[in-house]
Amino acid sequence: MSRFIDKLKQVSRAAPQAMGFKMALAAPSRPRMLIVASLAGADVDGLAQRVAGVDGGLLDISGPGEGAKTLRRVRKVVPDIPWGGWLKGGGGGMGPLVKAGCDFVVFSLATPLATLQDGEMSRVLQVEESLSESLIPAIDDLPVDAVLVTGGQREHFLTWKHLMVFQYFAGLLSKPLLVSVASTVADSELQALWEVGVDGVVVGVETAQPVARLSELRQLIDGLTLPSYRKLKKTEAILPRIGGGGDTVIDDEDEE
């Protein structure tokens, strides 16, 4: 399993916060929501400072060959975090990316099956928040390790509708959930995302934003209150109901 997916699953499986005295002892070791820095280009100037505090990096990749070259450049500058590739076009096998040290790959529903047939990298399925409700449960049966929900929330503020959509995804899926947000996301918004079941946020790295912005987000997330009830549906077995209902039980005493 990839380094990033391993950390993501630790967050997803985090137990509810304990009550009472044990809470203070357990809190520091509890996993927190992850931050993924998303890079549209290959500019490495000041990159180490811009991605300080993040848990993983993500590069836009138009093709495995060119993407492998970019990945090597970025990993040379920031080698301490797992890097993934976000497929934005092109075709061919993932061999070059694997050799370049790609830890995971993000791909959309439109990606050809043959592109990921080697199965050597962890897979993150990217879906739009407008995905039909009837298709969401089917994601759990796909050979993917996590789900990334994208939409208009990255360029704009989060709304109550976004929160409802993310909670709906989290409630139906047992897989870890990532969402795309703007770098200006506030601590109250991060707290709301955490409480509805979001395991990590993907934030774009832009030259216009402050160099230390992602590091500040890390501090905000580390300061979030871990709720006593969080996404318990992911740890509960959902048992199917067979048939139209149980048999009617007749009390023997009443019958007599």
pLDDT, residue 1, reads: 65
pLDDT, residue 228, reads: 54
- Asked whether 173 and 140 are in contact (CB, 8 A), the reply is yes
pLDDT, residue 152, reads: 65
Nearest to 234 by CA among 172, 153, 185, 179: 172
pLDDT, residue 24, reads: 43
SS (H, E, C) the chain: CCHHHHHHHHHHCCCCCCCCCHHHHHHHHCCCCEEEEEECCCCCCCHHHHCCCCCEEEEEECCHHHHHHHHHHHHHHCCCCCEEEEECCCCCCCHHHHHCCCCEEEEECCCCHHHHCCCCCEEEEEEECCCCCCCHHHHHHCCCCEEEEECHHHCCCCCHHHHHHHHHHHHHCCCCEEEEECCCCCHHHHHHHHHHCCCEEEEECCCCCCCCHHHHHHHHHHCCCCCCCCCHHHHCCCCCCCCCCCCCCCCHHHHC
pLDDT, residue 38, reads: 94
pLDDT, residue 217, reads: 95
Q: Which residue stretches of the chain have pLDDT < 70?
A: 1, 14-30, 41-42, 90-92, 118-119, 152-156, 227-256
Structural tokens at position 256: 């007599």
- Asked whether 54 and 214 are in contact (CB, 8 A), the reply is yes
pLDDT, residue 132, reads: 92
